[in-house]
Amino acid sequence: MLIIHVGQFEAFLFDLDGVITLTASVHSRAWKKLFDEFLAKKAAQTGTSFVSFDLETDYRRYVDGKPRTAGVLSFLATRGIKVPMGQPWDSAEQQTVHGLASRKDHYFLELLAREGVQVFDPAVAVLRNARGRGVRTAVASSSRNCAQILRAASLTALFDAGVDGIDLDYLGLAGKPAPDMFRSRASSRRASSAHGSFRGCNDGRRGSSRWRFRPCRRRGEWHASSNSP
């Protein structure tokens, strides 16, 4: 049993999926819908057999914890499929990497609106305990929908700052397994980080440069920005 002495830390950095929320299954089903539609169409066009996206092995190996475009590229490469990269503003109907990523987001938000968000109660209890003691908290996620997920779970007020998939693009940061999101001391040497994805379990330890979270506002949401020396 892990015992966390909240008062010994000045800051906590939490991964989102698998630590605070149970949204991994929502993400995986959105990916499956995207890829199964794409693969079925591809098979019909080429006269080849349709092999569906596997919720367990394909999701874990190729897309879990990665920014959405990296997930598209990673999985399609395993099937020997190449599509144009396109542009970040491509619509969900376009057969480009950015277009497919946009379509995945559309499916994810549909599921989120219909099913809501489940949370890990023990993690939320740690968050509330930390906030009650004046300990700063931040959240990190490769998802571009981090703010929507937190809002749906009524958790936004529990975090001082966060970094998400939008910030990865905006700040030029790499997603998992790179440690960029978890390069954090939360302006303190006495900080703790918690990770959910398998590929994220060592990211916090590998990060070496100082990272300070400070809130900034963009399109009405809060995000994090780099304040590295």
Catalytic residues: 15, 17
Residue whose token pair is 């020396």: 229
Query: Closest by alpha carbon to 134, among 3, 225, 9, 4?
Result: 9
Amino acid at 104: K
Q: How far apart are CA 88 and CA 90, in angstroms?
A: 6
- Is residue 129 classed as helix, strand or coil in its secondary structure? helix
- List the structure tokens of 159: 């975090």
Query: Closest by alpha carbon to 209, among 172, 184, 187, 173?
Result: 184
Residue 177: is the preceding peptide bond cis (ω within 30°)? Answer: yes
Residues 49, 54, 55, CA angle at the centre, nearest 5°?
155
